Structure 1
Amino acid sequence: MRKLLTQLELIDDNPVVLRDSSRQLRKQQLLECCRDLAAVLKSCDIKMVALFGDNSSDWVIADLACQEANICLVPIPTFFSQAQINHLFASLAIDTVICQATEHFLAIPNIQHGAQQSVLEGRLQLLQVVCAGQSSALPESTQKITFTSGSTGQPKGVCLSVEQLLLQAAALADAVALDKPRHLCLLPLSTLLENIAGVYTPLLCGGEVIIPSLAEIGFQGSSSLDTGQFCRTISHYSPQSMILTPQLLVIAIAAAKQGWQPPESLKFVAVGGGRVSAQLLAEAHHYAIPAYEGYGLSECASVVSLNTRAQSAPCTSGKPLPHLRVSICRGEIMVSGNAMLGYAGQPNSWNQEMIATGDMGSVDSQGFLTISGRSKNLLISSFGRNINPEWVEAELVANTVIADAVVYGDAQPHCVALIYPRDPELADAEVQQTIDQVNSGLPDYARILNWFRLNQPLTSQAGMLTDNGRPVRATIAAHYQVQLNNLYGQPTNSISLEDSSQ
């Protein structure tokens, strides 16, 4: 399959194909920018690039230039903690960083810094590095390594080829069926869903991709948002399509209830990254937000199934894309047809024809996929961040202050915790100080924003712990339902109450 730039050449020249707050690019200008940067990268004999930066047209140019130059690209999520960035560089043979500022990379352990130069008229910096640590082996044809938010402190790198990325983009274009769509990117471009569905797909359709900075959208960190700014940005650009997480959809609906009018141009709003209630989707359509739920994962090159304007069923995640095959094995969703090449550094994961998703679900007689829950104890926040509660709990109890910690936050905007201090006489302020210290070492999507103090340890409460000391989450959540309600100010029916003690 040809690269995206080659396919873009065959499309009629629109007035603008790529836009951010500072400039607009026609098709030929985009092609020239990408190929000029690709030539620079080739002249430096670069093999693997880490791309780190705010949403901008330059981010897209760097992405497509690496594709054009046959260079492996590693987009670094802007919400990664310094520890996660360090892990990434310790495990991959990255030899170049393209970024807006180099501060994040000058203090990485065991990294030697080489030549540095400005590219794209000085808007981005190209920093060559030498990683002293061991480098992971990669599957053949790896062009992009995408890291999810990471369910633990050391997320896995999903390896994908150009062919897989463009096959996915083309399938989405056919499913959504918008002619030359005007798409507004509201998620970080390092998110595979926005990267493929928000950039590649509109470009393949001859559409326009609008890329405001995250600050212009209203983001403050990865889990906080200025609602007014968010809505003003949508109104200003009047897009036809957008991609939202469930939490962003909640924010948009709340604004609409208070008088904000979504632009009449909106035709399709994809919602992914977590469970979405049928009631929420119905409210969205009532307020002229054409929201459609989908399901996917990076290991399948993002989108697996999607409700569309032509085919939609409530309480489902839509029909699988035509190039994918979905089956159910012992209740678990299995996907084949565009499986990842494998995980970086894990050869036993390479060349799998089928992906065991870890999600439980079913397919009805009409072919619509329904997700019922996760087989493993994994939280997905309403901002679409994967969080393993055991990781956060381990950080909380890894000190002399906290004895018990149970973390919740599935389908919620932030994490909360039930806490019991080792010293029953310890003041709440001192417990909070410890939580603050732990939070400072976590990415912001995994931090504990609210907590409830238990009046007795879990060991003294029957049925709260397994024989090996693991929390029985369903029992604990049911027992402390009122307290969890109060922590969120809303019902806990969106918190996963599945028993993950096995």
Structure 2
Amino acid sequence: MEQFSILLLQELNLQAERDPDRLALQGMAGQLTYGELMSEVSALATALTTLAEPASIALAMDNSPAWIVLDLAVLAAGWTNVPIPAFFSASQKQHAIQDAGVSLLLTDASDAWLQLYPASELLDSWTVAGKTVTMMRLNQQDRASGAQKITYTSGTTGAPKGVCLTAQNMWQVADSIRRLTQPDHADRHFCVLPLATLLENVAGVYASLISGATVIVYPCQEVGFSGSQFEISRLYQGLANSQATTAILIPELLRALVAYLHAGHPPLTHLRFVAVGGAKVAALLIQQAHQLGLPVYEGYGLSECASVVTLNTPQAHKPGSIGMPLPHVQLRVDHGGELWVKGAIYQGYHQAGGDIAPVLDEEGYLATGDLAYQDADGYWYLSGRKKNMFITSFGRNVSPEWVESTLIHQAGLLQACVIGEARPFNVAVVVAQPQFSVERVAQAVARANLELPDYAQIGDLVFARQPFTPQNGQLTANGRLKRDMIVQAYAADIHAIYEGI
């Protein structure tokens, strides 16, 4: 087989040479062995370089084995891959295309992209792992980049930012995940998150493939993502029918799966390791998952560090913590409590006028913007975001995530958003279980207050009219609160509380 210069591809090549007939990818439209996977990767890489000069190429497709084959083929061709998440708005997609200098596009939905770029040209099409893929030219200027992947994160406001990563960055994370979770040939990784998200792409797919495991990848709708809604029954059926042993979830999906199992559905006994990340996870939710037989382990990461930075494992686990650093990572906190990280650091943020280099200290550490601390056993904990810290009118610093985590640890409280900037006491906008009365919610908040110092306690409540979700704009796609949107939605209620003092 062709010899590749990139470690990730070298490892996949070795897997194909050792056992070419072992199943690598399984999807709705077909499957590929390791031998077939690397043959397709090599053939497509050659086809790409025949059609155009080295360029930045967008990969805009639904989840499928074809997505993974094309991702690896772009890497083998020496081009820059710019995955475009399907959940981006049209303007966000166009921003990423323009910002990254994308000239070419690989897609399974050419008609939709022709509506956005009516002057584009159809260059070629291939059948990849049972799916028809079209290559389109969006503009005539091919522009190469020093990055192997530019991943765009939506964040909470503004245009998405392009994080420039090298193949070495991604290899470090995938290899560390392999060393910690020890997947093998018997493992079946079920892709839940969109492949355009770095967490699934690197920690899910890459880590599984370099270990010789099988990656099961279905269209997002088959997993439960249906337009603006999510059907937990589809996720459950996908995990059950595929006999998956590993998966990656975000907190909201874990919460829904725990509720589904708690309702009496059979346990998923074949799962051995389920990572959860993207936002803070309540320790109570982790404990509930374990009681239901879900082997869930919280982690923490940044796109700027090629996804995962810390992880709990079956061998080293403390609910409520974000675990310990991956083998290639070093962590420290500064005098203000901010977490700094070293290991697999990105090249910079991409922008049309020139990349913005990462700002590192003299030892090569990157500031994360997160507040954290380490316990005596070496486990790390998040206290909140530095930018979300507020100061009460009594001059006390409060990290709202800390208070919110304490609140949702109480039975019956599902979500909370804490406000208190320049105020004499804090107010929480809360989402409670439907069967919980106002009195029971008040009792839960009172119990939480007993665990908090007086300046961090909740003085009054606003009952949310609906849960915080991505669909109503009050939650990001990976489960973080959009605080400004929540405050805006309940501004009159909050104002009435403080005006009544």
TM bucket normalised to smaller: 0.7 to 0.9
CA distance in 2, matches of 1:242, 1:17: 16
The RMSD of aligned alpha carbons is: 3.2
- AA at the equivalent of 1:487: Q
Q: Which residue of 1 aligns with 2:74?
A: 66
Give, in angstroms, the shift of residue 199 of structure 1: 0.6
For residues 129-208 of structure 1, the aligned pairs below 5 Å read 129-130=138-139, 140=146, 142-180=147-185, 181-208=187-214
The answer to whether residue 36 in structure 2 is matched with residue 29 in structure 1 is yes
- AA at the equivalent of 2:348: G
Q: Which residue of 1 aligns with 2:225?
A: 219
Q: Is the contact made by 1:38 and 1:65 (CA closer than 8 Å) also made in structure 2?
A: yes
Sort the Cα spacing of 1:45 and 1:480 in 2 relative to 1 into closer, same or farther, 3 A.
farther
Q: Which residue of 1 aligns with 2:323?
A: 318
CA distance in 1, matches of 2:139, 2:303: 28
CA distance in 1, matches of 2:56, 2:222: 30
- AA at the equivalent of 2:241: H
Gaps of at least 5 residues in structure 2 are: 390-407, 420-454, 470-479, 488-501
Give, in angstroms, the shift of residue 314 of structure 1: 2.1
The answer to whether residue 10 in structure 2 is matched with residue 6 in structure 1 is yes
Q: Is the contact made by 1:77 and 1:149 (CA closer than 8 Å) also made in structure 2?
A: no
Q: Is the contact made by 2:56 and 2:144 (CA closer than 8 Å) also made in structure 1?
A: no
Give, in angstroms, the shift of residue 89 of structure 1: 2.1
Secondary structure, aligned partner of 1:17: strand
Secondary structure, aligned partner of 1:338: coil
Secondary structure, aligned partner of 2:371: strand
The answer to whether residue 271 in structure 2 is matched with residue 263 in structure 1 is no
CA distance in 2, matches of 1:92, 1:186: 27
Instruction: Pick one of 444, 466, 474 that aligns with 1:487.
Output: 466
Give, in angstroms, the shift of residue 351 of structure 1: 7.5
CA distance in 1, matches of 2:344, 2:234: 38
CA distance in 2, matches of 1:260, 1:205: 31
The answer to whether residue 82 in structure 2 is matched with residue 85 in structure 1 is no
- AA at the equivalent of 1:124: V
Give, in angstroms, the shift of residue 189 of structure 1: 0.2
- 1:367-403 superposed Cα distances (whole Å, 9 cap, x missing partner): 211001011249xxxxxxxxxxxxxxxxxxxxxxxxx
CA distance in 2, matches of 1:489, 1:80: 19
Give, in angstroms, the shift of residue 488 of structure 1: 3.1
- AA at the equivalent of 2:304: E
CA distance in 2, matches of 1:231, 1:362: 35
Instruction: Pick one of 95, 100, 114 that aligns with 2:121.
Output: 114
Q: Is the contact made by 2:103 and 2:143 (CA closer than 8 Å) also made in structure 1?
A: no
Sort the Cα spacing of 1:98 and 1:137 in 2 relative to 1 into closer, same or farther, 3 A.
closer
For residues 103-502 of structure 1, the aligned pairs below 5 Å read 103-108=111-116, 112-120=119-127, 123-130=132-139, 140=146, 142-180=147-185, 181-221=187-227, 224-329=229-334, 330-345=336-351, 347-350=355-358, 352=360, 353-377=364-388, 481-484=461-464, 486-488=465-467
Q: Is the contact made by 2:358 and 2:366 (CA closer than 8 Å) also made in structure 1?
A: no
Give, in angstroms, the shift of residue 24 of structure 1: 1.5
Sort the Cα spacing of 1:289 and 1:368 in 2 relative to 1 into closer, same or farther, 3 A.
same
Q: Which residue of 1 aligns with 2:476?
A: none
Secondary structure, aligned partner of 1:242: strand
CA distance in 2, matches of 1:348, 1:263: 45
CA distance in 1, matches of 2:297, 2:71: 28
- 1:298-341 superposed Cα distances (whole Å, 9 cap, x missing partner): 00110000000111112100001111111111211111121111
Give, in angstroms, the shift of residue 93 of structure 1: 1.6
CA distance in 1, matches of 2:267, 2:57: 38
CA distance in 1, matches of 2:180, 2:87: 30
Give, in angstroms, the shift of residue 92 of structure 1: 2.1
Q: Which residue of 2 aligns with 1:387?
A: none
Give, in angstroms, the shift of residue 112 of structure 1: 4.3
- 1:436-484 superposed Cα distances (whole Å, 9 cap, x missing partner): xxxxxxxxxxxxxxxxxxxxxxxxxxxxxxxxxxxxxxx9x96872333
Give, in angstroms, the shift of residue 107 of structure 1: 4.0
Q: Is the contact made by 2:168 and 2:344 (CA closer than 8 Å) also made in structure 1?
A: no
Taking only the aligned residue pairs, the percentage that are identical comes to 34
Q: Which residue of 2 aligns with 1:49?
A: 57
- More deviation in 247-256 or 111-120? 111-120
CA distance in 2, matches of 1:495, 1:89: 27
Q: Which residue of 2 aligns with 1:406?
A: none
Give, in angstroms, the shift of residue 149 of structure 1: 2.4
Relative to the length of structure 1, the TM-score reads 0.74
Q: Which residue of 2 aligns with 1:423?
A: none
CA distance in 1, matches of 2:301, 2:76: 27
- AA at the equivalent of 1:51: L
Give, in angstroms, the shift of residue 15 of structure 1: 2.7
Q: Is the contact made by 1:160 and 1:340 (CA closer than 8 Å) also made in structure 2?
A: yes
Sort the Cα spacing of 1:150 and 1:415 in 2 relative to 1 into closer, same or farther, 3 A.
farther
- 1:388-445 superposed Cα distances (whole Å, 9 cap, x missing partner): xxxxxxxxxxxxxxxxxxxxxx9999999x9xxxxxxxxxxxxxxxxxxxxxxxxxxx
Q: Which residue of 2 aligns with 1:400?
A: none
- 1:158-180 superposed Cα distances (whole Å, 9 cap, x missing partner): 00001111111000000112323
- AA at the equivalent of 2:127: L
Q: Which residue of 2 aligns with 1:467?
A: none
Gaps of at least 5 residues in structure 1 are: 379-409, 419-474
Q: How many residues align?
A: 401
- 1:268-306 superposed Cα distances (whole Å, 9 cap, x missing partner): 000001111111001101101000000001001100000
CA distance in 1, matches of 2:468, 2:346: 40
Relative to the length of structure 2, the TM-score reads 0.74
Q: Which residue of 2 aligns with 1:424?
A: none
Sort the Cα spacing of 1:24 and 1:158 in 2 relative to 1 into closer, same or farther, 3 A.
same
Secondary structure, aligned partner of 2:138: strand
- 1:106-129 superposed Cα distances (whole Å, 9 cap, x missing partner): 3447x8423432122561111012
Q: Is the contact made by 2:79 and 2:144 (CA closer than 8 Å) also made in structure 1?
A: no
- AA at the equivalent of 1:304: V
Q: Is the contact made by 1:3 and 1:67 (CA closer than 8 Å) also made in structure 2?
A: no
Give, in angstroms, the shift of residue 198 of structure 1: 1.1
CA distance in 2, matches of 1:136, 1:281: 46
Q: Is the contact made by 1:307 and 1:318 (CA closer than 8 Å) also made in structure 2?
A: yes
Give, in angstroms, the shift of residue 350 of structure 1: 4.3
Give, in angstroms, the shift of residue 148 of structure 1: 1.3
Q: Which residue of 2 aligns with 1:398?
A: none
